[in-house]
């Protein structure tokens, strides 16, 4: 049974903190959840906007790298980029690693509305994937 989950992406600034915050929101303490990146970045302001729409505050997120985290404390690492899979496997070869290929919304080139839409798309895709992967917390009485 999964009780601890680490989400990993490249910079720990968009995809992995969104995924961790969404699972924390739904799990209501049922899981230990964290996020990290291959490299340390800063929280993206568009993440704060799209997560704020769900009532999720992100200002306490402190970006960190996979090297900053004790990877042995997690039942599963969910890597959201190919680079995160490679780095996690390098650091802990026997870890249970799942790969969810997630687009990088920060690569969106357009006006503010297009960028917000790209971030919402990633957020909503993560919500669907989390619902499927962790169905036990969504089916609680």
Rounded percentage of the chain residues whose pLDDT exceeds 90? 81
As a whole number, mean pLDDT of residues 18-31 equals 92
Beta partners for residue 99, in sequence order: 79
The domain defined by 4-138 folds into Rossmann fold (3.40.50)
| pLDDT tens, residue by residue, 94-139 | 999 999 999 999 999 989 999 999 999 999 999 999 999 998 776 6
- Global pTM reads 0.93
As a whole number, mean pLDDT of residues 9-31 equals 93
Residues contacting residue 123 through CB under 8 Å, at least 6 positions apart: 18, 22, 50, 51, 54
Q: What is the pLDDT of residue 128?
A: 96
CA distance 111 to 8: 28
Q: What is the pLDDT of residue 141?
A: 52
Q: What is the pLDDT of residue 140?
A: 56
| pLDDT tens, residue by residue, 34-71 | 999 999 888 899 999 999 999 999 988 889 999 999 99
Q: What is the pLDDT of residue 82?
A: 97
Q: What is the pLDDT of residue 2?
A: 67
- Where do we find the tokens 């909503």? 124
Q: Has residue 22 got a pLDDT over 80?
A: yes
């Amino acid at each position: 049974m999964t009780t601890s989950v680490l989400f990993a992406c490249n910079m720990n600034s968009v995809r992995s903190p969104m995924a961790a915050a969404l699972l924390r929101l739904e799990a209501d303490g049922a899981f230990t959840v964290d996020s990290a990146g291959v490299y340390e970045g800063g929280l993206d302001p568009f993440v704060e906007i799209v997560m704020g729409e769900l009532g999720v505050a992100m200002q306490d997120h402190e970006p960190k790298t996979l090297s900053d985290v004790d990877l042995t404390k997690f039942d599963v690492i969910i890597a959201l980029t190919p680079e995160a899979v490679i780095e996690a496997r390098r650091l802990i070869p026997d870890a249970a690693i799942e790969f969810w290929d997630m687009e990088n919304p920060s690569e969106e080139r357009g006006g503010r509305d297009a960028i917000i839409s790209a971030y919402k798309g990633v957020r909503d895709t993560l919500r669907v994937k989390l619902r499927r992967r962790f169905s036990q917390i969504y089916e609680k009485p």
